[in-house]
Amino acid sequence: MTVKVRVVNKPEFDGKINLKIKNVLNNLKKTVRVSANEVRNEAITSITQNPRAGETVKRYNPSRTIRISKEGDPPASDTGFLASNIHLIIDGDGLGASVESRAEYSVFLEFGTKDMRARPFLQPALEKGRRKYKTMFRKAVKDGI
């Protein structure tokens, strides 16, 4: 048994397919920007507005009073340096993005050290919206088609 398929008016068909591909790609690029920016904003908010920050202690020279975060909670903001160094980088093709902290001590806060338990802020920011972002990406594809 043989089945043959022939596309009638191929140029029109190709044009419609290409338009759908363009719509899906544009929707995906927008969704990448929006979702990655939400992760960035959530990370910054978790640091600057951490209501669960722990006790106050005196540290540094000259001495000053600061709030310290509890283990497992986002770091408490002291100078604002950490929050101001969280950046969004969109890939060249617009189909990927990363949120990164350029403060050199970020990795120690995110993952902890032998002397300090982790105070993660990037991974929890992603996890908080994970379901929402999956839904957003599904919708971007569906709406483009």
Domain boundaries, the chain: 22-144
Q: Which two tokens stand for residue 40?
A: 């960035």
Cβ neighbours, 10 Å, residue 112: 15
Banded pLDDT at 122 (limits 50, 70, 90): very high
Per-residue pLDDT reduced to its tens digit, 22-69: 999 999 999 999 999 999 999 999 999 876 667 778 878 888 887 788
**Residues 68, 116 contacting (CB under 8 angstroms):** no
User: Residue 79: its pLDDT value, please?
Assistant: 86
User: Residue 53: its pLDDT value, please?
Assistant: 65
CA–CA distances in Å: residue 12 to residues 5, 8, 26, 36, 107? 16, 9, 21, 36, 53
CB proximity list for 127: less than 8 A, separation 6 or greater: none
User: Residue 115: its pLDDT value, please?
Assistant: 92
User: Residue 15: its pLDDT value, please?
Assistant: 92
CA–CA distances in Å: residue 87 to residues 20, 82, 90? 32, 10, 10
- Supply the pTM of this predicted model: 0.84
Per-residue pLDDT reduced to its tens digit, 123-139: 999 999 999 999 999 99
Per-residue pLDDT reduced to its tens digit, 61-118: 888 887 788 888 999 888 899 999 999 999 999 999 999 999 999 999 999 999 999 9
| 3-class secondary structure, 6 | coil
